[in-house]
Amino acid sequence: MKRLISCSITPRGIEAAHFTRLKKQRVVSDRRSVTFDSSPFQRLPVGAQIADAKTLGDAVGEVLQAMPEAKTALVLPDSWLRTTVFTVEDLPRRREEVRNLVAWRLKKILNAEPRDLRFTTHTLSRDSKGEARILVTFTVEKLLSFLEQTFSSLGRDIGHITSHFWAIAPQIHLQGSWGLLTLEEGLWSLGFFNGDDLLFFRQKFMPARGNGMLAQDIERTWAYFFKRWNLNVDTMFTWSDILGYGGRNEIYPLGQKLGWAMQHADLTPAAIVPPSMADGDQWEAVQSAIIGAACLYV
């Protein structure tokens, strides 16, 4: 029987679920949560700074100590684990040279030393002339190191770290063109796909909610994508980590205007969650991301 703990950490609190795989079904066998009275994090342009290590460590311990030992997947906000796509005219063949190139690019746009960042790279496409598109996820090293050390001190090794967007997107298996828009306090992330292939990705710090700027930003981004790729999007999935706000009043009318079929990115059918473990606003907000991360393992 396969086991996994999938854990979400946000400025609001911690949610963790213990998954077991019985035959072909994923089942949540335990769930624990902690809501912070005051967030132990301070937001940075990239990632977050831990302002209260004791509060965070105590909360992680409270959530995990009652759970059995198992592989652990960690889901973080998109604003902490950022994503970008670089276009490279002549992609090096050696992996170390690719990492050096990406580190140099990140230093230019972030004004940060590569040693202070942790990043991963994935080549999305490469043409016959060597021009390539590279997907890069990155954050501050101190944040991940602290979280890894905290989990390790409790006998839990983190096997995979992902963001809200990348916990959900790989679980949407759809032919044709589609998009995913994720919203959280202060940031939106938008990707356009053709089947499983990512064609375009953008993140942007989000203006105040409800003033119409979100829809304008998304429409401008769509116009750029359509001009570049000349490809219509059939379905747009949306997901929000903002309690009580899913952007529906702004995004759904835009989707209707642009001819998108709008759907909430709901991954709950991928797991059995007993009713007694499915309550709470915080769980409702992050459950699809937690289940999405669990799908990578169990």
Contacts of 153 (CB under 8 A, 6+ apart): 57
> Per-residue pLDDT tens for 74-102?
999 999 999 999 998 888 888 899 899 99
Query: In terms of pLDDT, which residue wins out, 298 or 250?
Result: 250
Instruction: Report, as an integer, the average pLDDT of 62-72.
Output: 89
CATH architecture of 174-264: 2-Layer Sandwich (3.30)
Element holding 31 (H helix, E strand): strand 25-35
Fold classification of 2-78+139-167+267-294 is Nucleotidyltransferase; domain 5 (3.30.420)
Contacts 24+ apart (CB under 8 A), 217-224: 217/188, 218/181, 218/188, 218/190, 218/251, 218/254, 219/254, 219/258, 221/190, 222/258
> Per-residue pLDDT tens for 206-244?
866 656 788 999 999 999 999 999 999 999 999 999 877
pLDDT band at 289 (very low <50, low <70, confident <90, very high): very high
Q: Which of 91, 115, 94, 95 is nearest to 103 (CA)?
A: 115
Query: In terms of pLDDT, which residue wins out, 126 or 136?
Result: 136
Instruction: Report, as an integer, the average pLDDT of 156-173.
Output: 94
Domains 2-78+139-167+267-294 and 174-264 agree in fold: yes
The structural domains of the chain, with segments of one domain joined by +, span 2-78+139-167+267-294, 82-138, 174-264
Whole-number pLDDT of residue 86 = 93
Residue 247: both structure tokens together:
């952007």
Instruction: Report, as an integer, the average pLDDT of 50-73.
Output: 92
Whole-number pLDDT of residue 208 = 61
pLDDT band at 264 (very low <50, low <70, confident <90, very high): very high
Whole-number pLDDT of residue 131 = 82
Quote the mean pLDDT of the chain.
90
CA–CA separation, 206 and 298 (whole Å): 34
CA–CA separation, 13 and 33 (whole Å): 7
Q: What percent of the chain has pLDDT over 70?
A: 98
